[in-house]
Amino acid sequence: MEKKRVVVTGMGVISPVGTGLNKFWDSLVKGKSGIDKITRFDTSDLPSRIAGEVRDFNPEAYIEKKELKRLDRFTQFAISATKMALEDADLDLSTVDKTRIGVILGSGIGGNATWEEQHSILLSKGPKRVSPFFIPMMIVNMASGQVSMAFGLKGPNFTVVTACASGTNAIGEAFRTLQRGDADIIISGGTEAPITMLSLAGFSSMKALSSRNDEPSLASRPFDRERDGFVMGEGAGILVMESLDSALKRNAKIYGEVVGYGSTADAYHLTQPSPEGEGASRAMEAAISDAGISPSDVDYINAHGTSTPLNDKFETMAIKNTFGEHAYKLAVSSTKSMTGHLLGAAGAVEIVATLLSVYNDEIPPTINYENPDPECDLDYVPNRAVKRTVNIALSNSMGFGGHNACIIVKKFK
């Protein structure tokens, strides 16, 4: 059976550097950091007291007030970003067959804030005071479930949970579903709202987070020699993905075409990447093969680039192993330097950035790149965006548990 071509016709984003596509992209190309001291709770007992909080999001602009009390923040993000993406795609749902529209989202943690709040109520007030909405607010699949209910979408519906690769895997699975013809349109991406006391405490105990608390905007510094851990972020990235037939039929604007997807496992360690990025390299190779292109055809990589010592070193090695000499001609940047690490939503927000790079022929920088690391010796687009033709771009994601995912997008022609 011939595979259908898949394009992206609408995007919505909620991020620490801005809500909405225009604000998000403007901040990225200007190298603005969205990282600051945490404002939502007292962090004085925590080793890491900084994060990429979303500060310009008003959920009441997208969701009825009475409904908000029944939705964890990660689900609020998902519904709101979906509404943005549908509007951006100029998709009138009353004119299409909703049984042919699916929802495939990724989230690594889900309703963590609800879990913590209700557990506190259990301990302080007893089991009878636990909310009847606790379970349906907290479970990770509820973002895709609630999006389908909010917009009446009755096609394939599921949630991918692969830690920090969740958003990318969700988009990859949506790509496969559309290629097979199992749907005409899929709402896909990732959402996460992990900035809570328990999450910060857990990641801090693992020594995974940056402790550069006095210089928040300088803390996320992927590939820089002085990097000391990632900075947690929150938000959502949502794509309207369509078969090319569907998009052409309604004369839709097209941001780019999804052409390749690779997914592998390290089978190595709970949290550390496999030595020399072996698993990540295989994921990139699989995506390149799936796209039917040569490694030398890739112009830009939006790297996973977490600002942790091992990830950045091994991802650099993986890129060199995959691309050979072409690795030194590629542009490689990490937008996490500005947004922080959105965990399960990271890959989705980064694919939005990757598609905008292809659409606008501009590559966002890796900010805070001040001290070259001899083990990280590629072109990381340091500190300033560059104007460059980007025909084909790749986005990497890697998650705890050894999950690797890679998506390749290209200019639509």
pLDDT, tens digit (0-9, with 9 covering 90-100), for 161-180: 999 999 999 999 999 999 99
Active-site residue (options: 119, 304, 376, 406): 304
Reply yes or no on whether 269 is catalytic. no
Instruction: Reply yes or no on whether 304 is catalytic.
Output: yes
Kindly provide the b/e burial profile for residues 223-254, where b requires at least 16 CB atoms within 10 angstroms of the residue's own CB.
bbeebbbbbbbbbbbbbbbbbbebbeeeebeb
Q: What is the reported pLDDT for 257? A: 98
Q: What does each C-alpha distance from 293 to 5, 250, 251, 409 come to in angstroms?
A: 15, 29, 27, 11
Q: What share of the chain is helix, strand, coil (3-state, %, to 5)?
A: 40, 25, 40
Integer Cα distance of 290 and 319 in angstroms: 17
Task: Give the ranges where 20-141 is alpha helix by DSSP (H).
Answer: 21-29, 65-68, 73-88, 112-125, 134-138
Answer yes or no: are the C-beta atoms of 266 and 273 closer than 8 Å: yes
Question: What Cα–Cα distance (Å) separates residue 368 from each residue in 143, 223, 307, 381?
Answer: 34, 9, 10, 11
Question: Out of 119, 269, 326, 341, which one is annotated catalytic?
Answer: 341
pTM for the complete prediction? 0.97
Residue whose structure tokens are 């009847």: 132
Q: Which two tokens stand for residue 39?
A: 């404002």
The tokens describing 198, both together, are: 């328990």
Instruction: State how far Cα 18 lies from the chain centre.
Output: 14
Is 164 known to be catalytic? yes
pLDDT of residue 2: 87
**Which residue among the candidates 164, 376, 403, 406 is catalytic per the annotation?**
164
Residue type, 117: E
Query: What Cα–Cα distance (Å) separates residue 134 from each residue in 52, 236, 276?
Result: 26, 22, 42
Predicted local confidence at residue 217, as pLDDT: 98
Judged by DSSP in three states, 168 sits in helix
- For the chain, residues with pLDDT lower than 70 are none
φ, ψ of residue 305 to 5 degrees: the values are: 35, 70
- Sorted by where each starts, the structural domains of the chain and their CATH numbers stand as 6-249 (3.40.47.10), 261-410 (3.40.47.10)
First to last CA, the chain: 23
User: Which residues have CB under 8 Å from 45's CB, separation 6+?
Assistant: none
| pLDDT one-digit tens code per residue, 186-232 | 999 999 999 999 999 999 999 999 999 999 999 999 999 999 999 99
